């Protein structure tokens, strides 16, 4: 039986190997009820395997996975968790209404169909055949399938892939509404602006391990990167050798220096008389992500 004190998601020293590759490497992760968590990482970081473990799609080689204190398969069967895969899961030659009615029938206490259609904003698609949906429409139907069982946890794998800008905004508006009602949301995404804006917490994976975990602001600080920009005059390659500089990029006559010690970088620029149109900007989540994953790969 699920307990009110159990975390929504719990992975304890979970490990999963595929031949010589350790896709998940002793991963421990706890997500309290009601949090919205972004799971980030480059390709091969272990995101998909981690999601498969916590949904009971794969058994861990060692360690434990639990949802609301239950075995993941049991929690999913009880309708406590719903999942939205990036691809697949749609049966051809049936209408959206028929597909969602079938999925709802697998749960003891599903949401009413009209409520599911409204949550996914697909009321106008109810009689459309599934194999005649656009990519964005199919993505919204996958979301509808994920919420059919009225779950307490929803796991979203690249939820806004194939959605245009307007549809992405509408999707996250709906997610904020569900989060406001206490739903726990775990999503993976390559749109780092979505993680920055919508997640209470950001977890970055690298080689199957957690390499950063905290609010977006905390993850940015963990990367200890600031962009120092100046207008370039003449040869600028020497700027890459300044104290604190880890990376240099030149765009449109401006030199952008990613620095781990912006104070030292700015002071060196001043001593060299190279401070022209100086701009100092703290790392964005994308900069922090690149820095953290590059460090892990190194």
Pairing of strands 226-231, 279-282: antiparallel
pLDDT at site 219: 87
pLDDT in tens, 252-288: 889 999 888 889 999 999 998 877 899 998 878 887 8
Q: What is the mean pLDDT of the chain?
A: 90
Q: What is the largest CA-CA distance in the chain?
A: 72
> The domain 226-282: what is its CATH number?
3.30.70
CATH 3.40.50.300 residue window(s) in the chain = 9-220
Give the closest residue to 138 by CA, choosing from 148, 128, 151.
128
Fold of 9-220: Rossmann fold (3.40.50)
Other CB atoms within 10 A of residue 116 CB: 26
CATH 3.30.70 residue window(s) in the chain = 226-282
Rounded-to-10 torsion of CA 158, 163, 168, 170: -120
The number of CA neighbours under 13 Å toward the Cβ of 40 is 28
Q: Summarize the confidence of residues 193-208 as an average pLDDT.
A: 94
pLDDT in tens, 212-238: 999 998 888 777 678 899 997 778 889
Measured CA angle at 247 (ends 246, 249), to 5 deg? 160
pLDDT at site 298: 57
């Amino acid at each position: 039986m699920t307990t009110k004190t159990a975390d929504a998601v719990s992975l304890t020293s979970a490990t999963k190997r595929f031949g010589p590759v350790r896709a998940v490497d002793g991963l421990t992760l706890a997500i309290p009820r009601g949090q919205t968590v972004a799971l980030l990482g480059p390709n091969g970081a272990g995101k998909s395997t981690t999601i498969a473990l916590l949904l009971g799609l794969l058994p861990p080689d060692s360690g434990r996975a639990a949802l609301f204190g239950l075995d993941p398969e049991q929690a999913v069967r009880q309708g406590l968790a719903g999942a939205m895969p990036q691809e697949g899961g749609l049966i051809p030659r049936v209408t959206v209404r028929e597909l969602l009615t079938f999925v709802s029938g697998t749960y003891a206490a599903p949401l009413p169909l009209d409520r599911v259609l409204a949550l996914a904003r697909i009321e106008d698609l109810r009689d459309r055949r599934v194999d005649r949906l656009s990519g964005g429409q199919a993505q919204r139907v996958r979301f509808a399938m994920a919420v059919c069982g009225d779950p307490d946890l929803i796991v979203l794998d690249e939820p806004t892939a194939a959605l245009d800008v307007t549809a992405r905004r509408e999707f996250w508006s709906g997610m904020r509404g569900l989060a406001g009602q206490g739903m726990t949301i775990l999503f993976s995404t390559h749109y780092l602006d979505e993680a920055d804006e919508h997640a209470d917490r950001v977890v970055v994976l690298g080689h199957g391990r957690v390499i950063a975990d905290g609010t977006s602001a905390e993850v940015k600080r963990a990367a200890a990167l600031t962009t120092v920009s100046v207008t370039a005059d003449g040869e600028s390659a020497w700027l890459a050798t300044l104290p604190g500089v880890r990376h240099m990029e030149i765009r449109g006559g401006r030199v952008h220096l990613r620095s781990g010690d912006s104070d030292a970088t700015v002071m060196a620029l001043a001593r060299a008389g190279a401070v022209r149109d100086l701009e100092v900007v703290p790392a964005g989540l994308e900069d922090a992500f690149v820095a953290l994953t590059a460090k892990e790969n190194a």
